[in-house]
Amino acid sequence: MKNKIITLLLGCLLVCNALAADKQLRIGTLAPKNSLYHRQLMEVGEAWRTAQGAGAKYLVYPDGSQGGEADMVRRMRIGQLQGGLLSVVGLREIEPAIAALQNMPLMFKNWEEVDYVREKMRPGMEKKFLEKGFVVLAWGDAGWVRFFSKDAAVRPDDYKK
């Protein structure tokens, strides 16, 4: 089975077929055209094109034009896309356990705590992706979810009112 490469950029994932025989990578993303994420994908593509030499093509389909993240994962599996910039929503389609940190709201107080836990979990998660034919290159973050309330709230139970 062909391996696929995974790169997590700012909370999203770029999954690429490592053996793109025709020197063409087609990447789908929900990120809007000209957004930070789209520009980063274009930078990655330019580096890949330069490394591949003449005839290499790198196409990015922004704005969800290839469907939602589940659609993009399906398209990657059947070879219509060689990659996708995915959040946890799409990553769950490959490996459901990736959502573990998402299921613990208010668990972390700062990035250092997140980094520590993620580093401890990283080898196991990367192994799970590898077993499914995907190779993780890097992890990243998109930001915190903020909860707002008129009253002070510290724990999830505080929000139940």
Higher pLDDT, 161 or 145: 161
Residue 130 DSSP SS3? helix
Q: Exposed, middle or buried: residue 35 (CB in 10 Å: 0-12, 13-18, 19+)?
A: middle
How high is the pLDDT of residue 37? 85
Other C-beta atoms lying within 10 Å of the C-beta of residue 81: 25
Q: CA separation (Å) from 55 to 15, 23, 51, 60, 75?
A: 21, 7, 11, 16, 23
This prediction has a pTM of 0.73
Residue 4 pLDDT > 50 = no
- Supply the range of the domain harboring residue 154: 4-159
Which of 10-19, 51-60, 150-159 shows the lowest mean pLDDT across its residues? Answer: 10-19
CB 45 within 8 A of CB 37: no
Q: State the CATH number of the domain containing residue 136.
A: 3.40.190.170
Instruction: Give Cβ neighbours of residue 78 (< 8 Å, ≥ 6 apart).
Output: none
Vertex 5: Cα angle to 50 and 53 (nearest 5): 15
Mean of the pLDDT values across residues 40-57? 89
Q: What is the Cα–Cα distance from 31 to 76, expressed in whole angstroms? A: 17
| Domain total in the chain | 1
